[in-house]
Chain A
């Protein structure tokens, strides 16, 4: 990756690339296998999983939902820095962030609906008198659904409407354009909700394990779990957006806007530092710091989680290092790995510490877990190739308009892509 800088000004679809490539088919196969098995689950119940009464939650909940929605928090992380803290240059990556967030969340919720033993009783969601307002899990269920169905969906209509206006004809174009001012009016209210709700349910995901009390190892069991889960969502959100943007640039040979990526690396680094410091302060204050320095796997795991996040942060504090794309790429992977590990540990690795029973997912369970990820990946690739969600330079946009006009000469747009039937 070269460090040459190109400014990301617009979002442009990947217009010169075939959809059905080998990696796409690989992920699609995983998705088909996973979804077929998911359908089968409705005829068998859950006996084929590795779950048991001691480990009542398996990877579908603990990984697909509780862990991967952290990586799906790009929409939260980028929007907070862009719209609230005013880091405007990250606006160009908002679409990639909200599209990936939507897919991580939607597939997570699919996993959740497969995981519950009596999904036919989910109609209780529509009966407010059965809602348990004391339950963190209920808060997660309702808040996540509202976030995906109302706020994320709205944020994802931006590029759909743009695309429809660009490619539609006459009357439809006129009708759609009347929507734009309305959407703009709604926008701050929607973005506000798209920040508040994930802040609520990402912290509630951490709160889920608080009630388990002594069943979670003391290094992880803390009233700070909700705060840690939320901070980690921001960190993982940046890591995921960085990784996705850079992989996409590599795969489709698009230019990188290093200052934008570098700035996100910096925000990620600062958030990481807050996380690691808060974790060590937390074990000190609770007086369990001794457990972090015993010769066992839990102590090692505790430090591994922290250092996977801290070491990349230390590198990224250096302005020269964080302007090297390779450094940004590697640190986003390491930080993401650390975040994923932290979010997964309290639910599984540090759950029932010292208890003789074990949980390891069965093959079918893992295939379904991978299938939901595969589904998100192919939908993202499809979206990147059909809609303008990836940031690009203006020259890329001009090439795209030329391509569009060569494909459909009757399209009423000028050489800049502006409508000519105003």
Chain B
């Protein structure tokens, strides 16, 4: 195929225009994401939790949610799982004869899949690394629900103007100098609030003080799925607690590995476009000429 230099430049020029309008330089997430310097978080120790659910009630009150009483027939707050009325829940996990409570809320991932997938930056890492939701940008596509490895974001299925409901680490309370409602109310210190660095150090001290008490002698969330700002200690295997034990690569990184390369700087799509246009031009010229001759010969009008 012969392509003149002028053709290539013309192609690149148009390619760039098309790129600016229609194409997107999807960037890859980093393989080893770093927690923001001001990262706060929580440390939940499943061996301490007594399952009193004070944190569930406190969360509902602090966040002005209507308690979910469906299961109890309207008497008690009894959510089955996280839902549009429940940002924080205590669940019972079982592993054969052994059991444990587990607290479930947003993990405030360091490299969150939901933030990576959200088409209009409605979900983003805000102050202190908290994953926050912006009602003015959310189109309600629910891709965050597909991408979250922990099934945290929930959608108000019954509402006309549905919101995405998820723990935002009581960021409005932090602004008032208070700690999150769940950590404040916990009577046994099973869940603690603090900077991520301090909590991680404390978790490691607990493991050191009690070797073999904790599963794999490690802190879940230190590096799992790229690391989280909420950390877990447990005596049961993490996957029994609903914490997928699937390596240290963040979903955001896993999900953008291929696109991160293909769309880097739009170089590949622009090059592909240039080649396509050059090839098409060559074919089209021949076809156009054939159509013209055909029309001349038969007297039938040319069709575009």
Q: Using a CB–CB distance below 8 Å, which chain A residues touch chain B? A: 9-11, 43-47, 49, 51-54, 56-57, 82-84, 86, 88, 91, 115-122, 124, 130-139, 141-143, 146-147, 150, 158-159, 161-162, 165-166, 180, 183-184, 187-189, 191-193, 195-197, 199-200, 204, 207-215, 223, 226, 388, 394, 397, 414, 416-419
- Rounded to whole Å, the gap between the CB of B303 and the closest CB of chain A is 6
CA of A210 to CA of B254, assembled, Å: 7
> If A53-B155, A211-B116 touch, does A117 touch B162 (CB 8 Å cutoff)?
yes
Could you tell me if A118 and B162 are in contact, using CB atoms closer than 8 angstroms?
yes
Collect the chain A residues with CB atoms within 8 Å of residue B298's CB.
394, 416
Q: Does B187 contact A (CB under 8 A)?
A: no
CA of A263 to CA of B158, assembled, Å: 51
> If A133-B25, A200-B23, A416-B301 touch, does A84 touch B269 (CB 8 Å cutoff)?
no
Collect the chain B residues with CB atoms within 8 Å of residue A122's CB.
139
Q: What residue of chain B has the Cβ atom nearest to residue A352's Cβ?
A: B151
Could you tell me if A91 and B22 are in contact, using CB atoms closer than 8 angstroms?
no
Collect the chain A residues with CB atoms within 8 Å of residue B81's CB.
53
Interface residues as binary, B1-44 with A (CB distance below 8 Å gives 1, 0 otherwise): 00000000000001000100111111101000000000000000
Size of B's binding interface in residues, CB under 8 A: 74
- Rounded to whole Å, the gap between the CB of A131 and the closest CB of chain B is 7
CA of A56 to CA of B140, assembled, Å: 10
- Rounded to whole Å, the gap between the CB of B40 and the closest CB of chain A is 24
- Rounded to whole Å, the gap between the CB of A167 and the closest CB of chain B is 12
Contact of A56 among B116, B142, B160, B273 (CB under 8 A): B142
Contact of A207 among B145, B255, B301 (CB under 8 A): B255
Could you tell me if B283 and A84 are in contact, using CB atoms closer than 8 angstroms?
yes
Could you tell me if A45 and B259 are in contact, using CB atoms closer than 8 angstroms?
no
- Rounded to whole Å, the gap between the CB of B184 and the closest CB of chain A is 27
CA of A162 to CA of B295, assembled, Å: 14
Could you tell me if A116 and B147 are in contact, using CB atoms closer than 8 angstroms?
no
Could you tell me if B255 and A136 are in contact, using CB atoms closer than 8 angstroms?
yes
CA of A132 to CA of B114, assembled, Å: 11
Collect the chain B residues with CB atoms within 8 Å of residue A414's CB.
299
CA of A209 to CA of B299, assembled, Å: 54
> If A133-B26, A192-B276, A211-B147 touch, does A183 touch B304 (CB 8 Å cutoff)?
yes
Interface residues as binary, B145-165 with A (CB distance below 8 Å gives 1, 0 otherwise): 111010100111111111000
CA of A56 to CA of B288, assembled, Å: 49
Collect the chain B residues with CB atoms within 8 Å of residue A197's CB.
22-23
Could you tell me if B281 and A188 are in contact, using CB atoms closer than 8 angstroms?
yes
Q: Does B62 contact A (CB under 8 A)?
A: no
Binds A, one of B100-108, B202-210, B244-252: B244-252
Collect the chain B residues with CB atoms within 8 Å of residue A150's CB.
22
Given pairs A139-B26, A166-B301, 8 additional interface contacts (CB within 8 A): A45-B162, A56-B155, A57-B142, A136-B117, A191-B276, A195-B276, A213-B244, A213-B246
Interface residues as binary, B48-87 with A (CB distance below 8 Å gives 1, 0 otherwise): 0000000000000000000000000000000001110000
Q: Does B174 contact A (CB under 8 A)?
A: no
Could you tell me if B157 and A51 are in contact, using CB atoms closer than 8 angstroms?
yes
Could you tell me if B140 and A117 are in contact, using CB atoms closer than 8 angstroms?
yes
- Rounded to whole Å, the gap between the CB of A134 and the closest CB of chain B is 5
> If A53-B155, A207-B258, A394-B298 touch, does A388 touch B83 (CB 8 Å cutoff)?
no
> If A83-B280, A388-B303 touch, does A117 touch B117 (CB 8 Å cutoff)?
no
Could you tell me if A132 and B121 are in contact, using CB atoms closer than 8 angstroms?
yes
Collect the chain A residues with CB atoms within 8 Å of residue B139's CB.
116-119, 121-122, 124
- Rounded to whole Å, the gap between the CB of B80 and the closest CB of chain A is 11
Contact of A119 among B116, B140, B269, B287 (CB under 8 A): B140
Contact of A196 among B24, B119, B254, B276 (CB under 8 A): B276
Contact of A418 among B141, B149, B158, B299 (CB under 8 A): B299
Task: Choose among A53, A91, A138, A223 the residue with the greatest number of B CB atoms under 10 Å from its CB.
Answer: A53
Q: List 9 A-B contacts (CB under 8 A).
A: A46-B157, A122-B139, A134-B252, A188-B284, A208-B146, A211-B147, A213-B254, A416-B300, A418-B295
Could you tell me if A53 and B154 are in contact, using CB atoms closer than 8 angstroms?
yes
> If A45-B158, A146-B22 touch, does A132 touch B118 (CB 8 Å cutoff)?
yes
Could you tell me if A196 and B26 are in contact, using CB atoms closer than 8 angstroms?
no
Could you tell me if A121 and B149 are in contact, using CB atoms closer than 8 angstroms?
no
Q: Does B125 contact A (CB under 8 A)?
A: no
CA of A152 to CA of B304, assembled, Å: 15
Interface residues as binary, B117-129 with A (CB distance below 8 Å gives 1, 0 otherwise): 1111100000000
Could you tell me if B145 and A56 are in contact, using CB atoms closer than 8 angstroms?
yes
Interface residues as binary, B241-273 with A (CB distance below 8 Å gives 1, 0 otherwise): 000101000011011111100010000010011
- Rounded to whole Å, the gap between the CB of B136 and the closest CB of chain A is 7
Collect the chain A residues with CB atoms within 8 Å of residue B279's CB.
83-84
Q: What residue of chain B has the Cβ atom nearest to residue A179's Cβ?
A: B304
Could you tell me if B269 and A196 are in contact, using CB atoms closer than 8 angstroms?
yes
Q: Does B277 contact A (CB under 8 A)?
A: yes
- Rounded to whole Å, the gap between the CB of A111 and the closest CB of chain B is 13
CA of A45 to CA of B163, assembled, Å: 11
Task: Choose among A10, A165, A193 the residue with the greatest number of B CB atoms under 10 Å from its CB.
Answer: A193
- Rounded to whole Å, the gap between the CB of B173 and the closest CB of chain A is 26
CA of A56 to CA of B114, assembled, Å: 13
- Rounded to whole Å, the gap between the CB of A179 and the closest CB of chain B is 10
Task: Choose among B24, B113, B263 the residue with the greatest number of A CB atoms under 10 Å from its CB.
Answer: B24
